[in-house]
Structure 1
């Protein structure tokens, strides 16, 4: 690819810049399997459920989507619900508590290939933003030592404040491009989640790059990725 064709790079965070998708997966599994076990549901929550119903979505949307797959309906509740309350918000809050506990105890290191590409783009003067459904995006970036590269962060927190729908809607990516002052046709979206590449395609961005961290290259392509890589360092080798 020729980076002269683009002025901005819009990165998802979890699974693209940092391996925190693995931490999210563990936190979701812990929360959902405890919940299912308490209700006497024999079929456990699996990694396949994560990729199908949860990955890339705002937290409460992920709860709602998975519960619907098991024909379980809970009250919506409120974001102020205590963690573990039997509401959509209560389960989402419990998952967040589990995530923060794991992050605090284990920390996070960014993917080396992603660091290489980010530094290369910074040296070229390419504008960069983080677009993440996670409300913890700034804390994760700070823990990974990467926050200074991203003057614009559109996380689940900012999306909620602005009333923007989450992925697969393109609105958060469009907002990041707007804040960077770059037309969408001149921006590249980097995503590892099906909902994220679908958002990039729906937003009609200049290029959508899928990062295959386990969901599968075919599925990423089907949902809208123009190019699929296993690691962002491959884009350096391609002449970025």
Structure 2
């Protein structure tokens, strides 16, 4: 692709830059499997639920979406609820506790992501991370990627600025404005269907679907202009 046509790159984090999407996937599986067993919820939670209802969404939105898929309603509670299964926030906080335990083992960036970031740095193209995760900065620090980005728009920023989460385009639009780059001059790079949908809804110059498991057809159906399996496919030799 011709990167000279664009003035900024907006990266999702988990699954695009780092394999931490697998960490989140395992944490959600443990959380919902325990919840469903305790409450007799059927059918059991599975990988298809992750890609349909969870991947790329803010934590509590993901809880609501999965519960709604089983016609289950829990009280909202508050973000201060301890991990458990009594409220939406308690379920989300139980998932986060799993994530923090798994992240303690360490994080390595995808080599193809590092190669693309090297190329964009050489071209002095501004890069931002746009993630639904409230742990994004900790993941970037652990993966030694923090200095690669001029801006991080994460779940903490989204909550502070009252930005709707993916699949709404608001977090990507916020990042573009903060970088001072028009949306149609930005490339969005996403591995989640909800994130691709957010990019497509925001009028961005190019939406790249990075297929780390969601499936090329699903990413294209959500609005990806191009789908790759490796980020190095986006640079020349």
Query: Which residue is 2:151 aligned to?
Result: 152
> 1:126-181: CA deviations, max 9, x gaps?
00000000000000000000000112000011000000000011010011111111
Q: 1: distance between equivalents of 2:180 and 2:213?
A: 33
Q: What does residue 109 of structure 2 align with?
A: 110
Alpha-carbon separation, structure 1, partners of 2:40 and 2:151: 44
**Distance (Å, rounded) in 1 between the aligned partners of 2:85 and 2:200:** 36
Cα separation, partners in 2 of 1:56 and 1:130, compared to 1, 3 Å:
same
1:47 aligns with 2:63: no
Is 1:125 the counterpart of 2:124? The answer is yes
Question: CA-atom RMSD, angstroms?
Answer: 0.9
The structural deviation recorded for 1:233 is 1.1
1:167 equivalent in structure 2: 166
1:100 matched to 2:95? no
Q: Is the 8 A contact 2:208 2:224 kept in 1?
A: yes
Aligned-pair distance for 1:41?
3.0
Distance 1:147 1:123 in 2: 17
For residue 85 of structure 1, report the CA deviation from its aligned partner. 4.3
Uncovered stretches (5+) of structure 1, i.e. residues with no partner = none
Q: Could you state the TM-score of these two structures normalised by the residue count of structure 1? A: 0.97
Separation (CA, whole Å) in 2 of partners of 1:35 and 1:109: 30
Deviation at 1:42, TM superposition (A): 4.9
Query: Is residue 211 from structure 1 mapped to residue 210 from structure 2 by the alignment?
Result: yes
Gaps of 5+ in 2: none
